[in-house]
Amino acid sequence: MRTTGLGGSAVPVSELALGCAALGNLYHPVTDEAAHATVDAAWDAGVRTFDTAPHYGLGLSEQRLGAALRDRPRDAYTLSTKVGRLLVPSPPGGPGDDLAHGFAVPATHRRVWDFSADGVLRSLEASLKRLGLDRVDIALLHDPDDHAEQALREAYPALERLRREGVVGAIGIGMNRSALPARFLRETDIDVVLLAGRYTLLEQDGLTELLPEAAARGRSVVIGGVFNSGLLTAPRPGATYDYAPAPQPVLDRALRLLAVTERHGVPLRAAALRFPFGHPAVASVLTGARSPEEVRDTVEQLRRPIPDALWDELRAEGLLDPGTPVPVPVPVPVGESPSPKEPS
């Protein structure tokens, strides 16, 4: 699997990264064994970039990811985690579980927003303990939507200092909105933006400002949420978009995308996975998985050839703007055959 240097740093990322929210029991429980097997399957497929956060399962994702990677050569993979939410013990008598935040785990802790310099240091120290590792490679400011000024004035300088001292290799911001990360690109020296759900086959908000800014400054973007919370895996009534039932106009657009990809014998999820790589600032696509089977399917879809005619028809149908960059066909390695087309 191809790797790319991240922005101005020496940190490499594989073209496909494993997002580990599901390892923290996102929506539904996952066993320790299944979590470990999921990471192993990603490794066997060539994935060498893994993303987690304290937020995911109140630290459970970090614990499971660290355990699954502990016997791997530390210089052979890239690990990112996030800062901005501290985990503090919950008072007695609180809620029994964390499902209000989307995770099927006991509510042993609560999240406290903290984008101070001290909060950054405390967060990373606690993450390393949960991971059981000696370092993380990438540290990201996590969802500072309502804390932008403190994140700029206090958290970012702390991350910059850690990068300068060699404690982390790259720094950045992770959000599901594009305006504030674009501001960080203009006003700071971050290496990377993790943008979730805003540069997908369904919507390209990130193309307005963020992606051109990153490209002009030689910085990288990692794209998450390429399936828009599941809508682009199987568009149908009740499918989720931004973690809620998709509004009818959004569902209608997804169904039009599906019709085009089916006419070309390409699964919609394969086109959704490949689409972001058309932009030169995109270094990697991050997808979640909760089982080895999901990992293997994702890798298979990523490797499927996408004909130029599919992108041409999406433009002709008004589903992509004429100026939207699209990927070039991926050469099939010597000795391999293209994946067979699915029946339309």
Strand, coil or helix: 285: strand
Q: What is the set of active-site residues?
A: 56
Alpha helix segments (H runs only) across 165-222: 179-187, 210-217
Closest C-alpha among 261, 267, 265, 278 to residue 329 = 278
DSSP string, 4-63: EE-TTSS-EEESEEEE-SGGGTBSS---HHHHHHHHHHHHHTT--EEE--TTTTTTHHHH
Q: 64 vs 25, 37, 274, CA distance in Å?
A: 11, 11, 28
Phi (first) and psi of residue 97, to 5 degrees: -140, 175
Asked if 122 and 112 count as a contact pair (C-beta separation under 8 A), the reply is no
